[in-house]
Amino acid sequence: MATATQAPTSPAAASGRGSVLPLLRGRPSTRVRLAVGRRPQTALRAQPPGAAEVVEQSVNTIRFLAVDAVEKAKSGHPGLPMGCAPLGHVLFDEFLRFNPKNPYWFDRDRFILSAGHGCMLQYALLHLAGYDSVTMDDLKAFRQWGSRTPGHPENFETPGVEVTTGPLGQGFANAVGLALAEKHLAARFNKPDLKIVDHHTYVILGDGCQMEGVSNEASSLAGHWGLGKLIAFYDDNHISIDGSAGIAFTEDALARYEALGWHTIWVKNGNTGYDDIRAAIKEAKAVKDKPTLIKVTTTIGYGSPNKANTYSVHGSALGTKEVEATKNNLSWHHEPFHVPDEVKRHWSHHIDEGASLEAEWNKKIVEYEKKYRQEAAELKSIISGELPSGWDNSLPKYTPENPADATRNLSQQCLNALAKAIPGFLGGSADLATSNMTLLKMFGDFQKDTPEERNIRFGVREHAMGAISNGIALHSPGLIPYCATFFVFTDYMRAAIRLSALCGSRVIFVMTHDSIGLGEDGPTHQPVEQLFSLRAMPNILMLRPADGNETSGAYKIAVLNRQRPSVLALSRQKLQQLKGTSAEGVAKGGYIISDNSSGNKPDIILIGTGSELEIVEKAADELRKDGKTVRVVSLVCWELFEEQSEKYKESVFPSEVTSRISVEAGVTFGWEKYIGEKGKAIGVDRFGSSAPAGKIYKELGLTVENVIATAKSL
């Protein structure tokens, strides 16, 4: 690995910045090493005479806004913003296409800070660029309660932040999803005479992101898909929290990315090599058939005389003395949070420029609507998130006369119905499409040369699949991605699911083989604790449908919930189409499917989910033959049930009725909320076993006979 350049003792050590030189000619090679002094390509925005001094002022403004915010908060990560300030300035000021007064303009470039701990870099850039979401007061409230400048970037807190980052590598994988969405929509909607989807995705990642496995999975897919408008900047500063990255990370990242199908560039001097940064970005934009990784060697904490290039500047405030020393070193003689007038004037052009960029695009979309009405209507649905009229009527309906079937098969019927009805519906599986039953039969595969198709082949990459799906969902309100694997492997992708819930991305997680009912594959593949663990996660819907109508209902709910993801746990084994189930009942989370009592006073309440609802209903029939009044409740989604009124919940679970039994092929932990102190929970408080499903159910007591015996014991 290269050795990071140390911070100079004065800013005068850098020279030749801000010039505009001719474009490099010829097709870029796969691997390019850029050295300081190489003639750069022209930036997107030409630099006027005297710009070098303004650039230097601007870069130091970014550095010290970060330093001052961290110092005031007495916590944070100043090192990355100090080192990446030159890159941040060049990218935002000279290349990035955006409208600060409309952060959600559709055809904007997307920027993601995967190394989210360095978020003051992004906040400073958004502030300088004129975003209303990051005022000076917001910068001064960094990391404080209720501020729009939290300790890691959050898309739901700060307009201008595209995705929520923090867990390393996740933001990078989100960027792959954003770039996938752009390539897919461009292939579907661009015309020879009108290119209306045309933007880049830029992402900054650090050594930590490189070490996390999710980034390698996502990089592999990005190379395979040929995401030419994805440009990643690797902040090569050699420092992690424990010290030098070399204690655990010595690989040649550029060689790895070449092997993954990426174009690679190395900017050896990211501290003062402005021209080289410009040249690298221009070159990356010229590469159309593969993503680009630009390794930018920087000094973490650049300018700090005593802490630069050390782990102590990674995640701690500099301290009063070192702040003063750094200001002297960089000739920054200003009060905290100062933005020089010349820097304000320089950055002010983005407001008019951004409005102009959007206005030009709006003119094109008007022309597009006149020429291509059907495509325009579909694109409008994707951009706005407005669902087509009657979309939910496409979902299949079932009666008890329909044959028994696994809910994974019923799910495929729903997926294909929704893909026909909703233009932005797309997705795939982690190499299990024929087991998860997730193929969209009327579409081909999204591949490098067929990006218009809607079946996404993720391969065995559960970590990246979830994070990429988050990026797709956050690209446009009307894109609705689904992704699939076996339910037990939600453990592999839990970080992505959690971030999906946190940032409110509408991803549908299609999880099949939902219990011990999958049988012979054994306990490694049989989920038992996953149901409750996901019920414990905020802002997510955990749905376990019991038959066709509940599966349709679950998909309707998943599509309608724009601000939270849904997990559908689906069976491998065939289940009966039950009398009394309904999509409308699913919308309430829990509802009565059968009851022979009156006055809301049954003798006993039996509660089931998924494949066990059939067992519960059969047990209820037998108990009724003995003269018992029995209510059967399907509690398909706890979260939705808890959102109902107290009156409704009392109508389902009357407080006077304490004889209650829950039956679910998962851990019993948590069921006491619904069965009360006097109720009984029948479940699986151990790992499963390798055997036919029927045998496992019998041995573990998930039988009609055991439900009846338990009921009689109450």
- What is the set of active-site residues? 462
For residue 356, what are the contacts with CB-CB under 8 A and spacing of at least 6?
none
Task: Put residue 261 in one of left, alpha, beta given phi > 0 → left and psi -120 to 50 → alpha.
Answer: left
Distance CA(624)–CA(626), nearest Å, equals: 5
Show binding-site residues. 77, 117, 166-168, 207-208, 237, 239, 314, 408, 435, 489, 513, 521, 525, 572
**Residue 468 near residue 458 (C-beta atoms within 8 A):** yes
Q: What is the 3-state secondary structure (H, E, C) of 616-684?
A: HHHHHHHHHHCCCCEEEEECCCHHHHHCCCHHHHHHHCCCCCCCEEEECCCCCCCCHHHHCCCCEEECC
**DSSP calls for 107-163:** TPPEEEESSGGGHHHHHHHHHHHT-TTS-HHHHHTTT-TT-SS-SS--TTTSTT--S
Distance CA(102)–CA(360), nearest Å, equals: 14
Q: Other CB atoms closer than 10 Å to residue 201's CB: what's the count?
A: 28
Number of helices (H) and strands (E), helices first, in the chain?
26, 20
245-263 exposure pattern, b = at least 16 Cβ within 10 A, e = fewer: beeeeeeebbebbbebbbb
**Backbone torsions φ then ψ of 265, nearest 5 degrees:** -140, 150
Distance CA(547)–CA(570), nearest Å, equals: 9
Residues 368, 372, 377, 382, CA torsion sign: negative
**Among candidate residues 513, 512, 516, 487, the one with its CA nearest the CA of residue 696:** 516
Distance CA(621)–CA(616), nearest Å, equals: 9
Show binding-site residues for Mg(2+). 207, 237, 239
**Residue 545 near residue 568 (C-beta atoms within 8 A):** yes
Q: What is the 3-state secondary structure (H, E, C) of 513-550?
A: CCCHHHCCCCCCCCCCCHHHHHHCCCCCEEECCCCHHH
**Residue 315 near residue 241 (C-beta atoms within 8 A):** yes
In this structure, which long-range contacts are made by residues 41-44, counting pairs with CB atoms below 8 Å and at least 24 apart in sequence?
Answer: 41/278, 41/279, 41/282, 41/283, 42/278, 42/282, 43/90, 43/94, 43/95, 43/278, 43/281, 43/282, 44/94, 44/95, 44/97
**Among candidate residues 35, 32, 55, 29, the one with its CA nearest the CA of residue 43:** 55
**Among candidate residues 482, 426, 441, 446, the one with its CA nearest the CA of residue 183:** 446
Show binding-site residues for substrate. 77, 314, 408, 435, 513, 521, 525, 572
Distance CA(389)–CA(368), nearest Å, equals: 22
**Among candidate residues 439, 530, 535, the one with its CA nearest the CA of residue 493:** 530
DSSP at 95:
I
**Among candidate residues 677, 641, 676, 682, the one with its CA nearest the CA of residue 662:** 682
For residue 251, what are the contacts with CB-CB under 8 A and spacing of at least 6?
none
**DSSP calls for 426-444:** EEEESS-HHHHT---TTS-
What's the chain's Rg over C-alpha atoms? 28
**Residue 604 near residue 500 (C-beta atoms within 8 A):** no
